[in-house]
Amino acid sequence: MVTRRFLLKSGSAALAGLGAAVNTPSFLGRVAAAGGANRRRVLVAIFQRGAMDGLNAVAPYGERAYYDLRPNLAIPRPGAAGAANGSAIDLDGFFGLHPSLAPFKPLYDEKRLAIVHAVGSPDGTRSHFDAQDYMESGTPGVKSTPDGWLNRYMQSKPDSKASPSSPASPFRAVSMGANLPRALQGRAPAVAMTRINDFGIRGGMSGGAVEGGFESIYAETVDKALGAPGRETFEAVKLLKRVNPSQYQPADGVNYPRGRFGESLRQTAQLIKADVGLEVAFTDIGGWDTHVNQGGVQGQLALRLTELAQGIAALYADLREYSDEVLILTMTEFGRTARENGNRGTDHGHASAMFVLGGAVKGGRVYGRWPGLKPEQLNENRDLALTTDFRDLFAEIAKQHLGAGDLNAIFPGYEVKPANFVGLL
């Protein structure tokens, strides 16, 4: 929902200078005409909250120590005898996908999917709250950062398609959820919505819906305080509804998984196709904190990976004609311990794996320097060691895909060096 606080706090600044709408808001007239070769680049960021086990998602089956550390949980080698329930899907002779990630294999073979292993935050916290905060703020170890890295990207790079006569879209950054995530919080405008069909402006001090909505109650105030920008905001909301979200049909053969995650991806695809000016989309999927009964080929982790892979594969297929403009990035706050615990699960670890998918991606490869799993190679003798700082991966995407200029402004306190990019774009 766009709340009254959002409109009064962000709307007046974010939408200042917007011209009055006649029938269609001016920004939508612009983006609708900017199809084809002039489409804007879009980043779809997906946060796996709870810390995904990268060692079982992308298993280093070529290393003996992996099986020594996980006698019950390790994914069998590709084609292993007696692996009746499945085995790792070979990628390169050393790494293999968890069998639940089977929808990723064709994308990997098409060289559209890249994997970055041993990636994460250099901060050693094992707190979910702190680690997620650090990754979304882009400042590991610093709790006082006021905004998120994606919001700072928006601040650093004005809408490239905006002009005095055709201002920026209020839908440039959208989170598919009830609240704005840390990554999108900051001075640049961003919108959170649970469903496009329910998107609107609501009044009331308690945040509840009011009959007639915000416009009917605050119409005079909006007109006096915000003028044309306020009216255009309302027109944008109305036009977004005219996209007819309840009647959206994905591309032929595309089926999103049922549930909140699949629905958020389906609506992300709808926003991209509707050309409302979307540049950054954000959503998340929970359930990755697998301390107990994690399972190997089957079980708790397998179910999470199935939903993740089916959702992302469906999104890519739905947006195939936009594949050169859209990049999908997964992230997770940290990985899991290399050794399984006594409850047939794994505990909070350090480095993990991230997936990057898109038409401009140099896929079909696992990126990052592999640190090894021997005792002397582990972080604190318990975790997969970090060899790629997440800021280098995020900075590469911000620069190479989104066209960001001042990377040090996006990642304050960190000297971004292109030499540290993994080179997947």
Q: Which of 36-50, 99-113, 353-367 has the lowest mean pLDDT?
A: 36-50
pLDDT for 213: 45
Q: Name the band, by pLDDT with cuts 50, 70 and 90, for residue 275.
A: confident
Give bridge partners of residue 356 from the DSSP assignment: 114, 329
Task: Please say if the pLDDT value at position 217 is more than 50.
Answer: no
Model-wide pTM > 0.85: yes
Query: Taking residues 184-198, what's their average pLDDT?
Result: 90
Longest dimension (CA), the chain: 75
Q: Name the band, by pLDDT with cuts 50, 70 and 90, for residue 48.
A: very high
pLDDT for 210: 34
Cβ pair 86, 96 in contact under 8 A: no
* Tokens 């309840």 sit on residue: 246
Domains of the chain: 42-196+254-420 (3.40.720)
Task: Please say if the pLDDT value at position 64 is more than 80.
Answer: yes
Whole-number Cα distances in Å, 138 to 58, 307, 369, 392: 25, 27, 22, 10
d(CA 403, CA 322): 17
Q: Tell me whether strands 365-367 and 113-120 are parallel, antiparallel or unpaired.
A: parallel
Give bridge partners of residue 58 from the DSSP assignment: 97
d(CA 339, CA 67): 9
Task: Please say if the pLDDT value at position 364 is more than 70.
Answer: yes
Cβ pair 187, 148 in contact under 8 A: no
Higher pLDDT, 239 or 216: 239
Task: Please say if the pLDDT value at position 18 is more than 50.
Answer: no
Q: Name the band, by pLDDT with cuts 50, 70 and 90, for residue 181.
A: very high
Query: Taking residues 244-251, what's their average pLDDT?
Result: 81
